[in-house]
Structure 1
Amino acid sequence: MNEILKSISSAKTLNELDKVRVSLLGKNGTITQEFSKLKNLSGDEKKEFAASLNSKRDEISKALELKKTELEILELKERMRAEAIDVTMFDESGSVGALHPITITMNKIIEYFLSQNFSIENGPLIEDDFHNFEALNLPKYHPARDMQDTFYTDDARLLRTHTSPVQIRTMENSKPPIRMIAPGAVFRRDFDLTHTPMFHQVEGLVVEEGNKVSFANLKYILEDFLKYMFGDVKVRFRPSFFPFTEPSTEVDISCVFCGGKGCRVCSQTGWLEVLGSGVVDPNVFKFVGYKDVSGYAFGLGVERFAMLLHGVPDLRSMFEGDLRVLEQFR
């Protein structure tokens, strides 16, 4: 028995220990073979022999289990030692990450409107036709729907083409006054130098009871916002058309690249279009059950702002994950 216990104790690895176990307790092991002798014994001799074998087997099993635990602890310590990292080592090649230019731009936009007491509202990416189109004064077969190249799902829903549905949902669930922005991803079937199938918008909405809100309020907030984003630029408002606002305007800033003198980027005009805005059309208020209110709304593309702020010539480079591009924003 001492020899058996010595062989267990001398095992250096779990593999060696398992070989010892098989040689003792396996199908053809030493102890197992001893049990086969019981059939040739009878009476008290058989009882005494069986008791002795069971005692030996229990002692061997206990020794095997203790040795297994000991070897497992040693293996774990060895593996931890091999995988250990010296965090005190100095490495000059270490790199520092950075925020994505779209995130930088989005954060700056949000910071401004938070400072002006706007709330941040969110909504679903998959919308229904009512919230994405009809409630925004875009009935079925309206020609303006074709401008948005919508992704439709099999169940007649769609990927939202703008964040304006968040404005509708907010008005459905709240009463004036409302002062909100809706930042988030939107989707359209478009892909070129200045368009991608997925991009980001920030749309804003202000609603007050009575006639407290006018175009003058919209003009003030947007001029202040654009100077905050781009510095000392000139701002102009041009008449335009959006189904959900009336009157509607496109908003331009003096070209940030040539200072308004005219260059290739601004097509020699000295102006860059940056966002759309207008006074909320009364039909939109009817869809959400509002009466005797006034308000204004605006919307901008975050990628467009990021391209102007950071001098990025191709919008697609912001979504390709090229580290050479992202490393420039550390």
Structure 2
Amino acid sequence: MIEDIRQYLKEIEEFNATDPKLIEDFRIKFLSKKGILNDLFAKFKDVPNEQKREVGQALNTLKTSAAEKIETLKSSGQSQDEGGVFEDFTRPGMPIELGARHPISVVRNRIVEIFKRIGFALSEGPEIEDDWHNFTALNLPEYHPARDMQDTFFIEKDPDFLLRTHTSSVQIRFMENHKPPMRILSPGRVYRNEAISSRSHAMFHQIEGLYVDKNVSFADLKQTLQYFTTELFGKSKIRLRPSYFPFTEPSAEVDVYWGLETETDYRITKGTGWLEIMGCGMVDPNVLKNVGIDPEEYSGYAFGMGIERIALLLYQIGDIRLYFENDIRFLEQFEAEFGW
């Protein structure tokens, strides 16, 4: 065994390489679990007692020599790869960059968190929807003129199926399978066959809320919206303007008073100080009937908003298309929002 060790010591002394792969192969040959040194140490138990001292010292010398040789080659300053490019092993490694949440996810999570504090639970549904859940059950029977308000992507092979135009369909599915009281939020992607511009897109995100129970009133709705706008925007002054939605009666548009403190405020509010943020209303009795809930016993309110629109306001972004282009220069601006 002593002679073998001497041969290995000579091999280690004569070995020289700059290629990282050759250095790694050399390390594996001598120092890996199946390497030469492990094999020699395994045979050491069979060495006669009178030779153990000499052989043991030689094994330790071999192990030290192999380790030092590898370390010397690695830290020699430079190693050349096959392409002739020198790599400095002493340089620190490339940093691993942490990602950040997309601004749409940041705003969605913030809205969900606000409503969770007052008892709203999440409910989600399919993005490919049927006519009943997307239109008819929501008080939009066939040929109803209000259907023209939503330019729809229909599935060509089956016109009864479509890409949902709002997340109100999730509320229908929930009410069909649950009994009041219910208090839910339904966030998700929706689709409209619209021209893409700085203010609109064919795909965007909505989040809608529904509360159904006994004796729910419009005052309850207003108080909920007052709480939400104060928590999200830090602005408590709101107004509700009469509007029309087929699935709520009465219906209203919600404006928040943004103020006129800066030139930007004048621009985004068109000099009025007010910004429209969502639509709302009391659930139409026909909708409750369609899902098997007695409108004589129960009432409810609903509201809905576009997440992109809220994000445009919060971050003062002028073009909705930026959210869908995955431009790293744009997304890096939201790294501080990782916690949401």
TM-score under structure 2 length normalisation: 0.69
What secondary structure does 2:204 align onto?
A: strand
For the 8 Å contact 2:235–2:256, the answer to whether it is kept is: no
Distance change (3 Å), C-alpha of 1:315 and 1:262: closer
For the 8 Å contact 1:189–1:197, the answer to whether it is kept is: yes
Find the counterpart in structure 1 of residue 269 from structure 2. Answer: 266
Find the counterpart in structure 1 of residue 181 from structure 2. Answer: 177
CA deviation profile, 1:135-162 (whole Å, cap 9, x unmatched)? 0001111121111110000212100000
Distance change (3 Å), C-alpha of 1:86 and 1:290: farther
What secondary structure does 1:138 align onto?
A: coil
How far apart in 2 are the matches of 1:300 and 1:117? 19
Which of 131, 141, 144 matches 2:143?
141
Runs (5+) with no aligned partner, structure 2: 1-24, 33-73, 82-86, 336-340
Distance change (3 Å), C-alpha of 1:93 and 1:218: same
CA deviation profile, 1:196-243 (whole Å, cap 9, x unmatched)? 11111110000013xx20000000001110111100342111000000
Distance change (3 Å), C-alpha of 1:138 and 1:93: same
Distance change (3 Å), C-alpha of 1:256 and 1:304: farther
CA deviation profile, 1:244-265 (whole Å, cap 9, x unmatched)? 0000000001126747996121
Distance change (3 Å), C-alpha of 1:300 and 1:256: farther
How far apart in 2 are the matches of 1:274 and 1:288? 28
Find the counterpart in structure 1 of residue 166 from structure 2. Answer: 162
How far apart in 2 are the matches of 1:178 and 1:260? 43
Deviates more, 1:92-101 or 1:235-244: 92-101
What secondary structure does 1:99 align onto?
A: coil
The alignment yields a C-alpha RMSD, in angstroms, of: 2.8
Find the counterpart in structure 2 of residue 304 from structure 1. Answer: 309
For the 8 Å contact 1:261–1:268, the answer to whether it is kept is: no
Runs (5+) with no aligned partner, structure 1: 1-69
Distance change (3 Å), C-alpha of 1:162 and 1:257: farther
Residue 96 (structure 1) shift: 3.4
How far apart in 2 are the matches of 1:224 and 1:178? 19
Residue 268 (structure 1) shift: 1.4
Residue 88 (structure 1) shift: 9.8
Aligned length: 252
Find the counterpart in structure 2 of residue 189 from structure 1. Answer: 193
How far apart in 2 are the matches of 1:89 and 1:96? 21
Residue 98 (structure 1) shift: 1.2
How far apart in 1 are the matches of 2:124 and 2:90? 44
Distance change (3 Å), C-alpha of 1:176 and 1:264: same
TM-score under structure 1 length normalisation: 0.71
AA partner of residue 263 (structure 1): Y
Query: How do residues 197-276 of structure 1 correspond to structure 2 at under 5 angstroms?
Result: 197-209=202-214, 212-255=215-258, 258=261, 263-276=266-279
What secondary structure does 2:219 align onto?
A: helix
Residue 91 (structure 1) shift: 5.4
How far apart in 2 are the matches of 1:138 and 1:270? 34
For the 8 Å contact 2:260–2:273, the answer to whether it is kept is: no
What secondary structure does 2:148 align onto?
A: helix
